[in-house]
Amino acid sequence: MIISYKEAKRLLLGSKEISLDLGLTRTRVIFKDDKYFFPENQTLTKQDLKKVIKKDKICFFIEENTIVPISIFSEETNKYYKLVPTINWPTIELSGIRMHVTSSMAPKEDTEKKISFVFPLQGNILDTCTGLGYTAIMASRTADMVYTYEIDSNVIEIQKINPYSKELFNNPKIKRHNANCFERIKDFKGCFFDAIIHDPPRLTLATTLYSQDFYNDLFKILKSEGKLYHYTGDPGSKNRSMDIRSGISKRLEKSGFVNIKRVFNGLTALKP
């Protein structure tokens, strides 16, 4: 069971029904003798709920009659991972960096926006960086098969916890890989993918995913007339002298891509 500040507030305001899976379903909670009684014989106090409300940028498990933050610290990566509630689908935060553009739109709308730039998605689709899997899951609605890659095992642990990532593990139209996309896409021979959605971490965290070699490989495995959407974010907005999209455009063009356009938080390109 998962609770966020939104559901904790509802309980304290007297609601008898809340969501314990971040909005997917509703569950009845009983308040008696100054305690809240949840399924699986779990109980929380008002003080527990007040703690959840104070920590409004993280989700919590309810277990052993207490709240436990959904977070991981990895000594291997030296990063802190946590599941963060939003107005709809949750996002993941890695040492303060959020995976979705939550300042301007929620993760659901953010994903829909990315998908729209390469729509309609049909045939084989490459999702280079899984994250919480929203792109792969949404792409699978119309695609024949989605191939998606996540190198970070800690992110995969958060996927397993997040109710909205469940389809990654049971959707037959999604082929999920715990692997480095930079290396594994070399396994594909010739023009295999009908469209590619490249949503990498920021440049400083994954330089190889912005490299000429990687773009060359993307071009090789994309079919003729295939579309590419490359997420960049807007990292130069606070520093006008920095424009990573200009450099990316030049490298994509060098790889052979044409019709390269600037779009919301990224670039689109076409293989002739």
The domain ranges of the chain are 2-66, 102-270
DSSP E strands: which ranges in 29-186?
A: 30-32, 35-38, 42-44, 60-63, 66-69, 71-74, 79-84, 91-94, 97-98, 124-127, 145-149, 174-177
Decide: residue 38, CB within 10 A, 0-12 exposed, 13-18 middle, 19+ buried: buried
Q: Which residues contact 127 (CB under 8 A, 6 or more apart)?
A: 135, 136, 139, 146, 147, 148, 149, 197, 199
Give the model's confidence band at 57: pLDDT under 50 very low, under 70 low, under 90 confident, else very high.
Answer: very high
Q: How many CB atoms lie within 10 A of CB 17?
A: 11
Give the side-chain half-sphere CA count within 13 A for 51: 12
For the cut 80, the answer to whether the pLDDT of residue 144 exceeds it is: yes
Mean pLDDT in the chain? 94
CA 187, CA 177: separation in Å to the nearest integer?
A: 13
For the cut 80, the answer to whether the pLDDT of residue 198 exceeds it is: yes
For the cut 80, the answer to whether the pLDDT of residue 92 exceeds it is: yes
- Name the residue type at position 200: P
Q: What does the pLDDT read at residue 243?
A: 80
Q: Which residues contact 244 (CB under 8 A, 6 or more apart)?
A: 203, 210, 232, 235, 236
Contact 113, 264 (CB under 8 A): yes
Q: What does the pLDDT read at residue 251?
A: 98
Q: What percent of the chain has pLDDT over 90?
A: 89
Kindly state the average pLDDT of the residues 250-262: 98
Q: What does the pLDDT read at residue 184?
A: 96
Q: What does the pLDDT read at residue 189?
A: 87
CA 138, CA 216: separation in Å to the nearest integer?
A: 26
Give the model's confidence band at 100: pLDDT under 50 very low, under 70 low, under 90 confident, else very high.
Answer: confident
Domain spanning 102-270: which superfamily? Vaccinia Virus protein VP39 (3.40.50.150)
CA 13, CA 242: separation in Å to the nearest integer?
A: 48
For the cut 70, the answer to whether the pLDDT of residue 235 exceeds it is: no
